[in-house]
């Protein structure tokens, strides 16, 4: 993650200055921050987009799954942030309500996925709180390399997918490892495991 601005930006200024075609950026504490991902992370995100898209088409669900969907969130003290989940699932009606818009989505999307990298605390702490506050119905943390600390992953650390479901305004979580089928409230017939996600990364763990 690399900060690209010195002066603090409002959310509106962030959108105006967003450098199209030059990467993925977020607004964090008034700064435009460029997100950098390994090819393996991108492989995982692409795999999940395809998996979700297959479910949407097969079950005729009214969603769109994609990467690069910017959403507006906020901190507990009201500071505006702009987040760019690795994978987003949004209502088709909401997405197509203003197809000529460039601005970020301000309403909660259905599902956000973050593929964990070296700045893992952002996914487990900051984004978790922001997505809950915004009201995103489902949030996945895909820690396919078991990067987080042992306080989250236990000992020994193993690759884990965390699925958070919003219930009465608070996230309830289930964890999935190895070949246990991942249960998704959004995609009730999804057939997917953590092992398949690891394999999609093309990183082969010893």
Kindly indicate the confidence band of residue 100, based on its pLDDT and cuts at 50, 70 and 90. Answer: confident
Inside any domain, residue 185: yes
Inside any domain, residue 23: no
pLDDT in tens, 50-74: 999 999 999 999 999 999 899 999 9
Inside any domain, residue 20: no
Looking at residue 21, the DSSP 8-state letter turns out to be: T
Q: What is the DSSP string of 74-141?
A: E-TT--EEEE--SEEEEEHHHHGGGTT--SPB-SPPSEEEEE--S-HHIIIIIHHHHHHHHT-SEEEE
pLDDT in tens, 11-34: 999 999 998 777 899 999 999 999
pLDDT value, residue 188: 96
Inside any domain, residue 147: yes
Inside any domain, residue 79: yes
Task: Report how far residue 8's alpha carbon sits from residue 78's, in angstroms, rounded to the nearest whole number.
Answer: 15
Average pLDDT, the chain: 93
Inside any domain, residue 65: yes
What pTM value is reported for the model?
0.93
Number of domains in the chain: 1
Compute how many other C-beta atoms are within 10 angstroms of the C-beta atom of residue 176: 22
Residue 79: which CATH number?
Answer: 3.90.1570.10
Containing structural domain, residue 123: 38-201
pLDDT value, residue 22: 77
pLDDT in tens, 129-177: 999 999 999 999 999 999 999 999 999 999 999 999 999 999 999 999 9
Task: Report how far residue 170's alpha carbon sits from residue 185's, in angstroms, rounded to the nearest whole number.
Answer: 15
Inside any domain, residue 5: no
Reply yes or no on whether the pLDDT at 3 is more than 60.
no
Inside any domain, residue 14: no
């Amino acid at each position: 993650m690399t900060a690209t601005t010195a002066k603090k930006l409002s959310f509106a200024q962030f959108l105006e200055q967003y450098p199209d075609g030059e990467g993925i950026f977020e607004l964090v504490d008034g700064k435009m921050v460029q997100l950098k991902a390994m090819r393996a992370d991108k492989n995982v995100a692409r795999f999940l987009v395809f998996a979700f898209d297959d479910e949407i088409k097969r079950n005729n669900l009214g969603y769109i799954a994609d990467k690069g969907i910017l959403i507006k969130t906020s901190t507990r003290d009201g500071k505006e942030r702009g987040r760019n989940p690795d994978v987003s699932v949004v209502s088709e009606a909401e997405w197509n309500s203003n197809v000529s818009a460039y601005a970020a989505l301000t309403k909660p999307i259905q599902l956000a996925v973050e593929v964990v990298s070296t700045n893992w605390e952002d996914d487990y702490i900051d984004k978790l709180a922001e997505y809950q506050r915004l009201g995103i119905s489902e949030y996945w943390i895909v820690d396919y390399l078991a990067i987080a600390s042992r306080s989250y992953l236990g000992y020994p650390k193993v690759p884990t997918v965390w699925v958070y479901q919003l219930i009465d305004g608070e996230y309830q979580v289930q964890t999935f490892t190895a070949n246990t089928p991942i249960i998704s409230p959004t995609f009730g017939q999804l057939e997917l495991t953590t092992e398949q996600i690891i394999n999609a990364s093309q990183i082969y763990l010893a």
